A and B are shown apart, each in its own frame.
Chain A
Amino acid sequence: QSALTQPASVSGSPGQSITISCTGTGSDVGSHNSVSWYQQYPGKAPKLMIYDVSIRTSGVSKRFSGSKSGNTASLTISGLQAEDEADYYCSSYTTSTTLVFGGGTKLTVL
């Protein structure tokens, strides 16, 4: 049950686009479309942003988009805003019927 691999940090200026990658294996990301992305502010509970690889939850800005290719999922945030500064986690269902999270990515808006 190894964690999915995410970059520890990414940064971008307001208005720019950034992409956070999430690399797993054929036993998780590569074999399921139950891949999701969560946003977490310091001291707060995580919030589901994207599920089933690319579907935004209600109320989530269209600036957030998800995709997957092989064993790697990606979260893209376009038109960066200061309020996007947070930690982001990916997650995937696995062939062992467990869930696995990525290590998390700290997004800094410069």
Chain B
Amino acid sequence: GENVEQHPSTLSVQEGDSAVIKCTYSDSASNYFPWYKQELGKGPQLIIDIRSNVGEKKDQRIAVTLNKTAKHFSLHITETQPEDSAVYFCAASIPSGTYKYIFGTGTRLKVLA
């Protein structure tokens, strides 16, 4: 069935280091992959996304890569800062008439000052 696996579940990095979160999706029809950041007590906020016809996208310190063959996509955060601490969710959108998102289980990122 439709599934998105996300790893790791928790990640601690020193301020200034890089963080990488990886996701794998099961449905090859997925064509849109957003990443959300959720801070405590708030709703998820879209931070970056990538479409299936693109291999990589970058926005300042954040980048996302997509490997359609392997059905993998990853979030890269460089020069991490304490305010990057949050839970990050990946998702895959399936356009097969449902247009729903399948979310990963989340990664709790802690940036240590």
Q: Do A and B come from one complex?
A: no
